[in-house]
Amino acid sequence: MAARWEYSFRSPDFNGDSRKPSRRAPEPAPDVAAIGETPCTQGPYCASWIAAADGTRQPALGPRALCDADRGRVEAAIPELPRLYVALHGELGRQSADGAAVRSPFGPRLGLRGDVDAVMRLYAEVLVSWHERVAMVDRLAPPPPPREDGSPSARPGWYVARAVDVIAPRLNVLIALPPEPMRRAVSLRDLLIVGDDTARVVHDAYAATLPELHGGHAGVEILRLRRLAQRILGETRERPVELLGVPCRDPDCDMLALRRAELPSDPAEPAWWSECRECGDRMDEEEYRDWTRRYARWAQGRAGEIDAS
């Protein structure tokens, strides 16, 4: 959390030592039992997280398995999945970005990228399984069984696109699904951290687990599928550049949380220079330069007062 100064240079009447920043007191996490609401399934990664007394992130509470902010993220992610799947298919035969060759033990070099193939298989497994559950609740035709006759419906990409067509307009149905055992494949290494209460069948290279998953888990898995594909395709955003040492200009915030603002996707929108991570206040480049000059003059004057004393 960004530091807040105990006084402001906006007023000549201030107290405190400029070298001792204080922290904003975290809000106590509400009692789940007392409110009777459900914590967001995203856990500490919840978009509407609340700071607990011990400084940890607690998920927001609400009537559904996902908070409104994370529901919106899932709603935006679902239509992107078919495009990402097709883009992953285009990466199958290319060398990985780190230049490392993918080899099987005691065997020849693989012709396909193993990481891309694994994510594509995960796309099909996850989305088709949620398609099946939504279809069952909404009384729709279930996903057809796999075919091997060379038709379009025999390709995993067809199942991915069909699952998105069914799930996208039925997001509320998806999120409201109750817990139910669902098949998920994990590597034998991952099996070591799977709880003992998770039913599983062990194969030579992987384990077929049957965890209890509900609609909130569907949202979490969809966001992770998008993230996995974006990382492979190089579409993830870099961490924003922090603008250290300058407080937010909003007197109700005054936090040391300025960072470079992202460029707008629409060229017609204004290009902001800075953004406060805490309150969202933004400045263009001219406003930022003027603000930093004012703060620098005040800081120099404050330093002179301290030296004189």
Regarding whether 287 and 172 lie in a shared domain, the answer is no
**Number of continuous H segments (helices) and E segments (strands) in the chain:** 8, 14
Residue 287 backbone phi and psi in degrees, to 5: -65, -40
Question: Whole-angstrom Cα distance, residue 130 to residue 198?
Answer: 19
Q: In what order do the strands lie in the sheet with 274-276?
A: 258-260, 274-276, 282-283
Same domain, 166 and 148: yes
Q: Do residues 265 and 250 share a domain?
A: yes
Residue 127, pLDDT score: 94
Do both 102 and 220 map to the same domain? yes
Let me know if residue 182 belongs to a domain: yes
Helix (H) or strand (E) holding 86: helix 81-91
Residue 34, pLDDT score: 43
Residue 151 lies in a domain: yes
Same domain membership, residue 203 and residue 115 = yes
- Boundary residue ending a domain (233, 253, 284): 233
Are the beta carbons of 278 and 253 closer than 8 angstroms? Answer: yes
pLDDT digits (tens, 9 = 90+) for 232-281: 888 766 566 777 778 888 888 878 888 888 776 666 677 888 888 888 88
State whether 89 and 132 are in the same domain: yes
Question: Is residue 48 assigned to a domain?
Answer: no
Q: Is residue 123 part of a domain?
A: yes
Task: Please indicate, yes or no, whether residues 226 and 246 belong to a single structural domain of this protein.
Answer: no
pLDDT at 194: 53
Annotate 262-301 with b (16+ C-beta within 10 A) or e (fewer).
eeeeeeeeeebbbbbbbeebebeeeebeebbeeeeeeeee
Q: Which of 233, 249, 275 is the last residue of a domain?
A: 233
- Domain range for 291: 3-28+240-308
Residues 110 and 152 in one domain: yes
Residues 110 and 140 in one domain: yes
- The verdict on 92 and 220 lying in the same domain is yes
According to the model, what pLDDT value does residue 142 have? 84
pLDDT in tens, the chain (309 residues): 455 444 444 444 333 333 334 334 444 444 444 445 889 999 988 988 887 877 788 898 999 999 999 999 999 999 999 999 999 888 876 655 544 444 434 344 445 577 788 888 889 999 999 999 999 998 888 888 776 655 555 578 889 999 999 999 999 999 999 999 998 877 655 555 555 555 555 555 567 788 899 999 999 999 999 988 888 888 766 566 777 778 888 888 878 888 888 776 666 677 888 888 888 888 988 898 899 888 888 877 776 666 666
Q: Quick one: which of 115, 206, 122 has its CA closest to 163?
A: 122
Instruction: Write down the mean pLDDT value for the chain.
Output: 75
Whether 115 is covered by a domain: the verdict is yes
Q: Where among 177, 212, 233 does a domain terminate?
A: 233
Q: Are residues 161 and 94 in the same domain?
A: yes
Count: domains in the chain: 2
Is residue 56, in this structure, part of any structural domain at all? no
Same domain for 81 and 171, yes or no, is: yes
Establish if 204 belongs to a structural domain: yes
Distance CA 260, CA 71 (A): 27
